[in-house]
Chain A
Protein backbone atom coordinates (compact mmCIF):
# COMPACT_ATOMS: atom_id res chain seq x y z
CA UNK A 1 0.00 0.00 0.00
CA UNK A 2 1.23 3.50 -0.77
CA UNK A 3 2.52 5.51 2.16
CA UNK A 4 -0.08 8.29 1.95
CA UNK A 5 -2.84 5.68 2.10
CA UNK A 6 -1.18 3.93 5.04
CA UNK A 7 -1.18 7.24 6.90
CA UNK A 8 -4.80 7.84 5.94
CA UNK A 9 -5.75 4.40 7.27
CA UNK A 10 -3.83 4.47 10.50
CA UNK A 11 -4.37 8.15 11.31
CA UNK A 12 -1.87 10.78 12.42
CA UNK A 13 -2.23 9.77 16.05
CA UNK A 14 -0.62 6.40 15.24
CA UNK A 15 2.89 7.37 16.32
CA UNK A 16 4.33 4.03 15.31
CA UNK A 17 3.50 4.74 11.68
CA UNK A 18 2.83 8.46 11.19
CA UNK A 19 5.56 9.46 13.65
CA UNK A 20 8.17 8.08 11.25
CA UNK A 21 7.04 10.58 8.61
CA UNK A 22 6.36 13.55 10.87
CA UNK A 23 9.81 13.41 12.50
CA UNK A 24 11.32 14.70 9.22
CA UNK A 25 10.09 18.23 9.89
CA UNK A 26 11.61 18.18 13.38
CA UNK A 27 14.96 16.87 12.13
CA UNK A 28 15.07 19.60 9.44
CA UNK A 29 14.22 22.26 12.05
CA UNK A 30 16.98 20.96 14.31
CA UNK A 31 19.55 20.95 11.49
CA UNK A 32 18.71 24.55 10.55
CA UNK A 33 18.84 25.68 14.17
CA UNK A 34 22.22 23.98 14.69
CA UNK A 35 23.85 25.76 11.77
CA UNK A 36 22.19 29.12 12.35
CA UNK A 37 23.27 29.02 16.01
CA UNK A 38 26.81 28.44 14.75
CA UNK A 39 26.60 31.48 12.44
CA UNK A 40 26.29 29.61 9.12
CA UNK A 41 24.32 31.22 6.30
CA UNK A 42 21.65 29.12 4.62
CA UNK A 43 21.94 29.34 0.82
CA UNK A 44 19.97 28.13 -2.19
CA UNK A 45 21.66 27.07 -5.41
CA UNK A 46 20.13 25.78 -8.67
CA UNK A 47 19.01 22.18 -9.10
CA UNK A 48 18.79 22.50 -12.90
CA UNK A 49 22.21 23.12 -14.42
CA UNK A 50 24.20 22.91 -17.63
CA UNK A 51 27.26 21.23 -16.07
CA UNK A 52 26.64 18.93 -13.14
CA UNK A 53 29.46 17.35 -11.10
CA UNK A 54 31.83 15.06 -12.98
CA UNK A 55 31.70 12.02 -10.65
CA UNK A 56 32.30 9.24 -13.19
CA UNK A 57 29.92 6.62 -11.84
CA UNK A 58 26.89 8.83 -11.13
CA UNK A 59 24.24 9.06 -13.83
CA UNK A 60 22.17 12.21 -14.27
CA UNK A 61 18.61 13.07 -15.28
CA UNK A 62 18.72 14.89 -18.58
CA UNK A 63 16.24 17.49 -19.80
CA UNK A 64 16.19 20.43 -22.18
CA UNK A 65 15.93 24.10 -21.41
CA UNK A 66 13.74 25.87 -23.96
CA UNK A 67 14.01 29.67 -24.24
CA UNK A 68 12.09 31.39 -27.09
CA UNK A 69 14.54 33.15 -29.41
CA UNK A 70 17.49 31.02 -28.32
CA UNK A 71 18.78 27.55 -29.12
CA UNK A 72 17.57 24.83 -26.81
CA UNK A 73 20.11 23.85 -24.18
CA UNK A 74 20.74 20.42 -22.71
CA UNK A 75 20.08 20.65 -18.99
CA UNK A 76 20.62 18.30 -16.07
CA UNK A 77 19.35 17.82 -12.54
CA UNK A 78 22.36 17.96 -10.31
CA UNK A 79 23.73 15.08 -8.29
CA UNK A 80 24.85 17.39 -5.46
CA UNK A 81 25.02 21.18 -5.00
CA UNK A 82 28.78 21.08 -4.34
CA UNK A 83 30.07 23.08 -7.33
CA UNK A 84 27.66 26.00 -6.87
CA UNK A 85 28.35 26.17 -3.16
CA UNK A 86 32.09 26.39 -3.82
CA UNK A 87 31.50 29.39 -6.08
CA UNK A 88 29.76 31.03 -3.13
CA UNK A 89 32.79 30.23 -0.95
CA UNK A 90 34.95 31.94 -3.54
CA UNK A 91 32.48 34.84 -3.51
CA UNK A 92 33.28 35.26 0.17
CA UNK A 93 30.07 34.10 1.87
CA UNK A 94 31.97 32.36 4.65
CA UNK A 95 30.40 29.39 6.48
CA UNK A 96 27.38 28.18 4.51
CA UNK A 97 24.90 25.31 4.51
CA UNK A 98 22.09 24.10 2.29
CA UNK A 99 19.31 21.52 2.45
CA UNK A 100 18.08 20.69 -1.06
CA UNK A 101 17.03 17.92 -3.40
CA UNK A 102 19.60 16.05 -5.48
CA UNK A 103 19.00 13.51 -8.21
CA UNK A 104 20.81 10.35 -9.27
CA UNK A 105 19.61 8.22 -12.14
CA UNK A 106 20.23 4.57 -12.90
CA UNK A 107 20.48 3.42 -9.30
CA UNK A 108 18.80 0.17 -8.29
CA UNK A 109 16.02 0.01 -5.71
CA UNK A 110 17.32 0.00 -2.18
CA UNK A 111 16.39 0.70 1.42
CA UNK A 112 18.90 3.54 1.45
CA UNK A 113 18.52 5.16 -1.98
CA UNK A 114 15.82 7.13 -3.76
CA UNK A 115 16.48 8.70 -7.19
CA UNK A 116 15.29 12.05 -5.81
CA UNK A 117 16.70 12.58 -2.34
CA UNK A 118 17.40 15.31 0.18
CA UNK A 119 20.97 16.32 0.83
CA UNK A 120 22.52 18.52 3.51
CA UNK A 121 25.81 20.16 2.65
CA UNK A 122 27.83 22.46 4.83
CA UNK A 123 31.16 24.19 4.31
CA UNK A 124 33.29 25.60 7.10
CA UNK A 125 35.99 28.03 5.99
CA UNK A 126 39.48 28.22 7.48
CA UNK A 127 38.87 24.61 8.45
CA UNK A 128 39.55 21.06 7.29
CA UNK A 129 38.03 17.59 7.51
CA UNK A 130 38.98 17.24 11.18
CA UNK A 131 36.75 20.22 12.01
CA UNK A 132 33.92 18.64 9.99
CA UNK A 133 34.25 15.45 12.05
CA UNK A 134 33.54 17.53 15.15
CA UNK A 135 30.62 19.23 13.42
CA UNK A 136 29.10 15.80 12.69
CA UNK A 137 29.45 14.69 16.30
CA UNK A 138 27.93 17.94 17.61
CA UNK A 139 25.12 17.96 15.01
CA UNK A 140 23.95 14.46 15.92
CA UNK A 141 23.95 15.25 19.65
CA UNK A 142 22.08 18.49 18.95
CA UNK A 143 19.37 16.69 16.93
CA UNK A 144 19.04 14.03 19.64
CA UNK A 145 18.44 16.76 22.23
CA UNK A 146 16.10 18.83 20.03
CA UNK A 147 13.95 15.76 19.36
CA UNK A 148 13.63 15.17 23.11
CA UNK A 149 15.33 11.79 22.78
CA UNK A 150 18.06 12.55 25.32
CA UNK A 151 16.06 13.22 28.46
CA UNK A 152 18.26 10.93 30.55
CA UNK A 153 21.35 12.80 29.30
CA UNK A 154 23.10 9.58 28.27
CA UNK A 155 23.50 10.61 24.60
CA UNK A 156 22.03 7.30 23.52
CA UNK A 157 20.27 6.78 20.20
CA UNK A 158 18.29 3.58 19.90
CA UNK A 159 18.25 2.35 16.32
CA UNK A 160 16.76 -1.00 15.29
CA UNK A 161 17.13 -2.40 18.80
CA UNK A 162 20.76 -1.35 19.29
CA UNK A 163 21.91 1.47 21.57
CA UNK A 164 24.40 3.83 19.98
CA UNK A 165 26.46 6.13 22.15
CA UNK A 166 26.64 9.46 20.30
CA UNK A 167 28.98 11.03 22.89
CA UNK A 168 32.10 12.64 21.50
CA UNK A 169 34.55 11.54 20.29
CA UNK A 170 33.22 8.90 17.90
CA UNK A 171 35.36 5.96 16.85
CA UNK A 172 37.89 6.97 14.19
CA UNK A 173 39.62 4.46 11.96
CA UNK A 174 41.63 5.15 8.83
CA UNK A 175 40.94 3.24 5.63
CA UNK A 176 44.31 1.51 5.84
CA UNK A 177 43.72 0.52 9.49
CA UNK A 178 40.28 -0.81 8.53
CA UNK A 179 41.69 -2.90 5.67
CA UNK A 180 44.27 -4.32 8.05
CA UNK A 181 41.83 -4.92 10.90
CA UNK A 182 38.92 -6.41 8.98
CA UNK A 183 40.45 -7.73 5.74
CA UNK A 184 43.97 -8.54 6.94
CA UNK A 185 45.66 -6.44 4.26
CA UNK A 186 48.66 -4.12 4.31
CA UNK A 187 48.68 -0.59 2.88
CA UNK A 188 50.88 -1.76 0.00
CA UNK A 189 48.49 -4.59 -0.86
CA UNK A 190 45.50 -2.24 -0.71
CA UNK A 191 47.03 0.46 -2.90
CA UNK A 192 48.58 -1.75 -5.57
CA UNK A 193 46.11 -2.58 -8.30
CA UNK A 194 47.68 -5.90 -9.28
CA UNK A 195 48.12 -7.10 -5.71
CA UNK A 196 44.62 -6.02 -4.72
CA UNK A 197 42.94 -7.81 -7.64
CA UNK A 198 45.03 -10.92 -6.94
CA UNK A 199 43.98 -10.87 -3.27
CA UNK A 200 40.33 -10.39 -4.27
CA UNK A 201 40.67 -13.51 -6.40
CA UNK A 202 42.33 -15.42 -3.55
CA UNK A 203 39.46 -14.36 -1.29
CA UNK A 204 37.01 -15.96 -3.72
CA UNK A 205 35.53 -12.92 -5.44
CA UNK A 206 34.70 -13.21 -9.10
CA UNK A 207 37.63 -11.66 -10.92
CA UNK A 208 37.95 -11.22 -14.67
CA UNK A 209 40.43 -9.24 -16.74
CA UNK A 210 38.08 -6.23 -16.58
CA UNK A 211 38.32 -6.05 -12.77
CA UNK A 212 39.56 -2.60 -11.77
CA UNK A 213 41.28 -1.44 -8.61
CA UNK A 214 38.14 0.50 -7.76
CA UNK A 215 35.91 -2.58 -8.02
CA UNK A 216 38.22 -4.82 -5.99
CA UNK A 217 38.68 -2.11 -3.34
CA UNK A 218 34.94 -1.49 -3.02
CA UNK A 219 33.97 -5.16 -3.10
CA UNK A 220 36.32 -5.89 -0.20
CA UNK A 221 35.14 -2.73 1.57
CA UNK A 222 31.47 -3.63 1.14
CA UNK A 223 31.76 -7.29 2.09
CA UNK A 224 34.44 -7.31 4.74
CA UNK A 225 34.62 -3.86 6.29
CA UNK A 226 31.57 -1.64 5.92
CA UNK A 227 29.10 -4.04 7.60
CA UNK A 228 31.18 -3.71 10.79
CA UNK A 229 31.54 0.07 10.88
CA UNK A 230 29.60 1.72 13.67
CA UNK A 231 28.51 -1.71 14.85
CA UNK A 232 30.30 -2.80 17.97
CA UNK A 233 29.23 -6.40 18.64
CA UNK A 234 30.23 -7.72 15.26
CA UNK A 235 33.42 -5.72 15.22
CA UNK A 236 34.43 -7.23 18.54
CA UNK A 237 33.60 -10.69 17.33
CA UNK A 238 35.97 -10.06 14.46
CA UNK A 239 38.52 -8.75 16.92
CA UNK A 240 38.55 -11.90 18.97
CA UNK A 241 38.82 -14.08 15.90
CA UNK A 242 41.68 -12.02 14.45
CA UNK A 243 43.92 -10.93 17.25
CA UNK A 244 46.47 -9.31 14.98
CA UNK A 245 45.03 -5.83 14.86
CA UNK A 246 46.21 -3.26 17.36
CA UNK A 247 43.95 -0.74 15.59
CA UNK A 248 41.23 1.32 17.30
CA UNK A 249 40.64 0.42 20.92
CA UNK A 250 37.26 -0.84 22.06
CA UNK A 251 35.25 1.56 24.21
CA UNK A 252 32.74 -1.04 25.35
CA UNK A 253 29.89 0.94 23.72
CA UNK A 254 28.55 1.00 20.20
CA UNK A 255 29.69 4.24 18.66
CA UNK A 256 29.38 5.81 15.24
CA UNK A 257 32.53 5.23 13.18
CA UNK A 258 34.44 7.76 11.12
CA UNK A 259 36.38 6.09 8.29
CA UNK A 260 39.05 8.55 7.17
CA UNK A 261 42.06 9.07 4.87
CA UNK A 262 40.93 7.52 1.61
CA UNK A 263 43.35 6.24 -1.02
CA UNK A 264 44.22 9.09 -3.39
CA UNK A 265 42.39 7.29 -6.25
CA UNK A 266 39.25 7.93 -4.18
CA UNK A 267 40.09 11.56 -3.49
CA UNK A 268 37.21 12.99 -5.60
CA UNK A 269 37.27 16.70 -4.69
CA UNK A 270 39.45 16.37 -1.60
CA UNK A 271 42.96 17.55 -0.85
CA UNK A 272 45.79 15.05 -0.75
CA UNK A 273 47.52 14.66 2.59
CA UNK A 274 50.75 16.65 2.81
CA UNK A 275 52.28 14.01 5.06
CA UNK A 276 51.42 11.08 2.76
CA UNK A 277 50.10 11.94 -0.72
CA UNK A 278 49.05 8.32 -1.30
CA UNK A 279 46.00 9.32 0.76
CA UNK A 280 43.46 12.12 0.63
CA UNK A 281 41.76 14.06 3.41
CA UNK A 282 38.36 12.50 3.00
CA UNK A 283 36.08 10.73 5.48
CA UNK A 284 32.74 8.97 5.56
CA UNK A 285 30.88 8.18 8.75
CA UNK A 286 28.74 5.20 9.65
CA UNK A 287 26.17 4.12 12.18
CA UNK A 288 25.14 0.46 12.20
CA UNK A 289 27.03 -0.18 8.94
CA UNK A 290 25.07 2.57 7.15
CA UNK A 291 27.03 5.33 5.43
CA UNK A 292 25.62 8.72 6.38
CA UNK A 293 27.94 11.35 4.96
CA UNK A 294 31.04 12.04 2.89
CA UNK A 295 33.46 14.86 3.77
CA UNK A 296 36.59 16.47 2.38
CA UNK A 297 39.27 18.94 3.16
CA UNK A 298 38.27 20.70 -0.03
CA UNK A 299 40.69 20.79 -2.93
CA UNK A 300 41.53 24.44 -3.62
CA UNK A 301 44.14 23.97 -6.37
CA UNK A 302 42.47 24.99 -9.65
CA UNK A 303 44.97 23.15 -11.86
CA UNK A 304 44.60 19.86 -10.03
CA UNK A 305 40.83 20.27 -9.89
CA UNK A 306 40.65 20.77 -13.65
CA UNK A 307 42.92 17.78 -14.32
CA UNK A 308 40.75 15.52 -12.12
CA UNK A 309 37.59 16.74 -13.83
CA UNK A 310 39.06 16.01 -17.28
CA UNK A 311 39.99 12.48 -16.09
CA UNK A 312 36.47 12.04 -14.67
CA UNK A 313 34.82 13.17 -17.90
CA UNK A 314 37.03 10.80 -19.91
CA UNK A 315 36.09 7.93 -17.61
CA UNK A 316 32.40 8.89 -17.93
CA UNK A 317 32.74 8.59 -21.69
CA UNK A 318 34.45 5.21 -21.37
CA UNK A 319 31.71 3.98 -19.00
CA UNK A 320 28.99 5.12 -21.41
CA UNK A 321 27.56 7.73 -19.02
CA UNK A 322 25.85 10.91 -20.17
CA UNK A 323 28.42 13.40 -21.44
CA UNK A 324 28.37 17.10 -20.68
CA UNK A 325 30.76 20.02 -20.41
CA UNK A 326 32.90 20.78 -17.41
CA UNK A 327 31.71 23.57 -15.12
CA UNK A 328 34.42 26.11 -16.00
CA UNK A 329 33.11 28.59 -13.42
CA UNK A 330 33.90 26.12 -10.68
CA UNK A 331 37.54 26.09 -11.85
CA UNK A 332 37.58 29.88 -12.11
CA UNK A 333 36.25 30.09 -8.57
CA UNK A 334 39.36 28.22 -7.39
CA UNK A 335 41.65 30.34 -9.59
CA UNK A 336 40.21 33.50 -8.05
CA UNK A 337 40.71 31.94 -4.65
CA UNK A 338 38.66 29.86 -2.29
CA UNK A 339 39.52 29.79 1.41
CA UNK A 340 40.78 26.55 2.89
CA UNK A 341 37.51 24.77 3.65
CA UNK A 342 36.15 21.59 5.14
CA UNK A 343 32.92 20.42 3.53
CA UNK A 344 30.48 17.52 3.72
CA UNK A 345 27.33 16.05 2.19
CA UNK A 346 24.94 14.15 4.48
CA UNK A 347 21.97 12.13 3.26
CA UNK A 348 19.02 13.73 5.04
CA UNK A 349 16.70 10.82 4.30
CA UNK A 350 19.10 8.45 6.05
CA UNK A 351 19.41 10.93 8.91
CA UNK A 352 15.61 11.00 9.29
CA UNK A 353 15.46 7.20 9.01
CA UNK A 354 17.98 6.90 11.83
CA UNK A 355 16.16 9.22 14.24
CA UNK A 356 12.80 7.67 13.23
CA UNK A 357 14.25 4.22 14.03
CA UNK A 358 13.10 3.02 10.59
CA UNK A 359 14.80 0.18 8.68
CA UNK A 360 14.50 1.95 5.33
CA UNK A 361 14.30 5.53 4.11
CA UNK A 362 11.14 4.41 2.29
CA UNK A 363 9.36 4.23 5.67
CA UNK A 364 9.97 7.94 6.23
CA UNK A 365 9.34 9.42 2.76
CA UNK A 366 5.72 10.41 2.12
CA UNK A 367 6.27 9.47 -1.52
CA UNK A 368 9.14 7.02 -2.14
CA UNK A 369 9.85 6.39 -5.82
CA UNK A 370 7.88 3.12 -5.75
CA UNK A 371 4.75 5.13 -4.83
CA UNK A 372 5.31 7.69 -7.60
CA UNK A 373 6.10 5.41 -10.55
CA UNK A 374 4.60 2.06 -11.57
CA UNK A 375 6.93 -0.81 -10.67
Chain B
Protein backbone atom coordinates (compact mmCIF):
# COMPACT_ATOMS: atom_id res chain seq x y z
CA UNK B 1 0.00 0.00 0.00
CA UNK B 2 1.36 3.44 -0.93
CA UNK B 3 1.47 5.85 1.99
CA UNK B 4 2.98 9.28 2.60
CA UNK B 5 6.35 9.26 4.34
CA UNK B 6 4.85 11.55 6.99
CA UNK B 7 2.70 8.59 8.10
CA UNK B 8 5.60 6.17 8.65
CA UNK B 9 5.42 4.68 12.14
CA UNK B 10 7.78 2.60 14.19
CA UNK B 11 7.03 -1.11 13.64
CA UNK B 12 5.83 -0.68 10.05
CA UNK B 13 7.30 -2.68 7.19
CA UNK B 14 8.39 -0.48 4.30
CA UNK B 15 9.97 -1.19 0.95
CA UNK B 16 13.09 0.94 1.32
CA UNK B 17 15.40 1.19 -1.70
CA UNK B 18 13.61 -1.87 -3.07
CA UNK B 19 14.39 -4.00 -0.01
CA UNK B 20 11.91 -4.92 2.75
CA UNK B 21 12.74 -3.06 5.94
CA UNK B 22 11.38 -2.71 9.45
CA UNK B 23 11.02 0.85 10.75
CA UNK B 24 12.77 0.96 14.13
CA UNK B 25 12.62 4.69 14.91
CA UNK B 26 10.87 7.74 13.50
CA UNK B 27 11.33 11.45 14.10
CA UNK B 28 9.42 14.31 12.59
CA UNK B 29 11.73 17.13 11.45
CA UNK B 30 11.25 20.68 10.19
CA UNK B 31 14.73 22.03 9.60
CA UNK B 32 15.07 25.74 10.28
CA UNK B 33 11.28 26.10 10.57
CA UNK B 34 11.13 24.70 7.04
CA UNK B 35 8.87 22.13 5.40
CA UNK B 36 8.11 18.78 7.05
CA UNK B 37 10.39 15.76 6.82
CA UNK B 38 10.30 12.29 8.36
CA UNK B 39 13.58 10.86 9.60
CA UNK B 40 13.42 7.13 10.15
CA UNK B 41 15.67 4.16 10.81
CA UNK B 42 15.14 1.27 8.41
CA UNK B 43 16.36 -2.20 9.36
CA UNK B 44 16.93 -4.17 6.20
CA UNK B 45 15.15 -7.48 6.76
CA UNK B 46 17.56 -9.44 4.60
CA UNK B 47 20.86 -8.08 5.88
CA UNK B 48 19.86 -6.77 9.31
CA UNK B 49 21.67 -3.51 8.52
CA UNK B 50 20.10 -0.34 9.94
CA UNK B 51 20.12 2.79 7.76
CA UNK B 52 18.83 6.24 8.62
CA UNK B 53 17.08 8.20 5.89
CA UNK B 54 15.03 11.38 5.86
CA UNK B 55 12.10 11.51 3.44
CA UNK B 56 10.01 14.54 2.59
CA UNK B 57 6.75 14.05 4.51
CA UNK B 58 4.83 14.27 1.24
CA UNK B 59 6.97 11.63 -0.51
CA UNK B 60 5.33 8.29 -1.33
CA UNK B 61 6.63 5.09 0.22
CA UNK B 62 5.33 1.55 -0.02
CA UNK B 63 4.13 -0.15 3.12
CA UNK B 64 4.44 -3.89 2.57
CA UNK B 65 2.44 -6.90 3.71
CA UNK B 66 4.27 -9.31 5.92
CA UNK B 67 2.69 -12.69 6.55
CA UNK B 68 3.50 -14.91 9.49
CA UNK B 69 3.04 -18.66 9.98
CA UNK B 70 3.53 -20.69 13.15
CA UNK B 71 6.38 -23.18 12.78
CA UNK B 72 8.49 -25.53 14.87
CA UNK B 73 12.21 -25.17 15.32
CA UNK B 74 14.21 -28.18 14.10
CA UNK B 75 17.93 -27.45 14.15
CA UNK B 76 20.72 -25.05 13.22
CA UNK B 77 23.17 -25.88 10.43
CA UNK B 78 25.56 -23.18 11.57
CA UNK B 79 24.45 -20.39 9.26
CA UNK B 80 20.71 -21.05 9.01
CA UNK B 81 18.05 -22.02 11.49
CA UNK B 82 15.68 -24.64 10.10
CA UNK B 83 11.97 -24.54 10.92
CA UNK B 84 9.08 -26.79 9.87
CA UNK B 85 5.41 -26.08 9.30
CA UNK B 86 3.74 -28.83 11.42
CA UNK B 87 0.68 -28.88 9.11
CA UNK B 88 2.35 -29.06 5.71
CA UNK B 89 5.80 -30.37 6.78
CA UNK B 90 7.29 -27.58 4.63
CA UNK B 91 10.70 -26.53 5.87
CA UNK B 92 12.20 -23.04 5.78
CA UNK B 93 15.71 -21.87 6.45
CA UNK B 94 16.08 -18.59 8.28
CA UNK B 95 19.52 -16.92 8.26
CA UNK B 96 20.83 -16.94 11.83
CA UNK B 97 21.73 -13.23 11.62
CA UNK B 98 18.04 -12.35 11.26
CA UNK B 99 17.38 -13.92 14.64
CA UNK B 100 20.48 -12.65 16.44
CA UNK B 101 20.81 -13.35 20.16
CA UNK B 102 17.35 -14.82 20.28
CA UNK B 103 18.68 -18.04 18.75
CA UNK B 104 19.76 -18.71 22.35
CA UNK B 105 16.08 -19.19 23.23
CA UNK B 106 15.37 -21.96 20.72
CA UNK B 107 14.99 -25.62 21.65
CA UNK B 108 13.82 -28.28 19.20
CA UNK B 109 10.04 -28.18 18.66
CA UNK B 110 9.80 -24.64 20.08
CA UNK B 111 6.87 -22.88 18.40
CA UNK B 112 7.51 -19.47 16.87
CA UNK B 113 6.07 -17.37 14.06
CA UNK B 114 8.12 -17.07 10.88
CA UNK B 115 7.54 -13.81 9.01
CA UNK B 116 7.77 -13.89 5.24
CA UNK B 117 7.77 -11.31 2.49
CA UNK B 118 7.48 -12.46 -1.12
CA UNK B 119 7.80 -16.04 0.20
CA UNK B 120 11.20 -15.20 1.71
CA UNK B 121 11.68 -15.61 5.47
CA UNK B 122 12.60 -12.26 6.96
CA UNK B 123 12.27 -12.73 10.69
CA UNK B 124 11.11 -14.76 13.66
CA UNK B 125 8.60 -13.68 16.29
CA UNK B 126 8.94 -15.35 19.67
CA UNK B 127 6.17 -15.77 22.23
CA UNK B 128 6.59 -13.27 25.04
CA UNK B 129 7.54 -16.03 27.49
CA UNK B 130 9.04 -19.48 26.99
CA UNK B 131 9.83 -22.40 29.29
CA UNK B 132 13.40 -23.67 29.50
CA UNK B 133 15.00 -26.36 31.65
CA UNK B 134 17.78 -25.51 34.12
CA UNK B 135 20.85 -27.65 33.34
CA UNK B 136 23.15 -26.10 35.93
CA UNK B 137 22.52 -24.19 39.14
CA UNK B 138 24.79 -23.94 42.15
CA UNK B 139 23.32 -25.17 45.42
CA UNK B 140 21.99 -22.32 47.55
CA UNK B 141 24.36 -21.48 50.38
CA UNK B 142 22.71 -22.28 53.72
CA UNK B 143 22.00 -19.20 55.81
CA UNK B 144 21.83 -16.81 52.88
CA UNK B 145 18.13 -16.03 53.07
CA UNK B 146 18.09 -12.52 51.68
CA UNK B 147 15.02 -12.23 49.47
CA UNK B 148 16.85 -10.36 46.73
CA UNK B 149 19.85 -12.69 46.41
CA UNK B 150 20.40 -13.90 42.84
CA UNK B 151 22.68 -16.41 41.18
CA UNK B 152 23.54 -17.40 37.64
CA UNK B 153 21.81 -20.45 36.21
CA UNK B 154 22.49 -22.18 32.91
CA UNK B 155 19.58 -23.20 30.71
CA UNK B 156 19.31 -26.08 28.26
CA UNK B 157 20.04 -23.81 25.29
CA UNK B 158 23.28 -22.62 26.90
CA UNK B 159 21.79 -19.27 27.87
CA UNK B 160 22.86 -17.99 31.30
CA UNK B 161 20.47 -15.82 33.30
CA UNK B 162 20.15 -14.49 36.85
CA UNK B 163 17.58 -16.28 38.99
CA UNK B 164 16.62 -16.43 42.68
CA UNK B 165 18.92 -18.67 44.72
CA UNK B 166 16.18 -21.24 45.41
CA UNK B 167 16.08 -22.39 41.75
CA UNK B 168 17.55 -25.89 41.36
CA UNK B 169 19.06 -27.91 38.54
CA UNK B 170 16.43 -29.90 36.63
CA UNK B 171 13.63 -27.40 37.21
CA UNK B 172 11.83 -25.67 34.35
CA UNK B 173 11.69 -21.87 34.46
CA UNK B 174 9.88 -19.14 32.52
CA UNK B 175 12.07 -16.69 30.57
CA UNK B 176 11.04 -13.35 29.08
CA UNK B 177 12.06 -13.42 25.41
CA UNK B 178 12.47 -9.63 25.13
CA UNK B 179 14.75 -9.08 28.11
CA UNK B 180 16.24 -12.62 28.39
CA UNK B 181 15.38 -12.45 32.11
CA UNK B 182 13.97 -14.93 34.62
CA UNK B 183 10.22 -14.54 35.21
CA UNK B 184 9.17 -17.41 37.49
CA UNK B 185 9.18 -21.14 38.02
CA UNK B 186 7.16 -22.90 35.31
Contacts and interface: CB of A to CB of B under 8 A. Distances in A.
Interface in A51-87: 55, 57-58
A262 B32 contact: yes
Contacts of B32: 218, 262, 266, 268, 284, 294
B35 A107 contact: no
B53 A108 contact: no
B47 interface: no
Nearest to A359: B25
Interface stretch (A5-13, A110-118, A127-135, A176-184): A110-118
- Name which of B6, B25, B27 has the most chain A CB atoms within 10 A of its CB: B27
A110 B54 CA distance: 13
B27 A227 contact: no
Interface stretch (B56-64, B69-77, B105-113, B131-139): B56-64
Nearest to A259: B32
11 contacts: A57-B34, A106-B36, A107-B36, A108-B28, A109-B26, A110-B27, A112-B29, A113-B28, A223-B53, A266-B34, A291-B31
A57 B36 contact: yes
A249 interface: no
B33 A268 contact: yes
Interface in B1-54: 6, 25-39, 52-54
B35 A57 contact: yes
B57 A222 contact: no
Contact of B33 (A58, A108, A109, A223): A58
Interface of B: 6, 25-39, 52-57, 59-60
Main SS of the interface on chain B?
strand
A108 B4 CA distance: 13
Given A206-B60, A222-B37, A227-B52, A111 B31 contact: no
A219 interface: yes
A214 B35 contact: yes
Interface in A87-117: 106-113
B11 to A, nearest CB: 13
A291 B39 CA distance: 14
Interface of A is mostly: mixed
B57 A108 contact: yes
Contact of B37 (A58, A112, A212, A219): A219
B147 to A, nearest CB: 19
A235 interface: no
Given A206-B60, A223-B53, A223-B54, A218 B28 contact: no
Given A108-B57, A206-B59, A227-B52, A222 B29 contact: yes
A218 B6 contact: no
Which one of A55, A58, A212, A222 has the highest number of Cβ atoms from chain B below 10 Å of its Cβ?
A222
A266 B30 CA distance: 13
Nearest to B59: A206
A288 to B, nearest CB: 14
A303 B31 CA distance: 27
A113 B59 CA distance: 21
A221 interface: yes
A107 B28 CA distance: 7
Nearest to B28: A108
A277 B16 CA distance: 40
A363 interface: no
A215 interface: yes
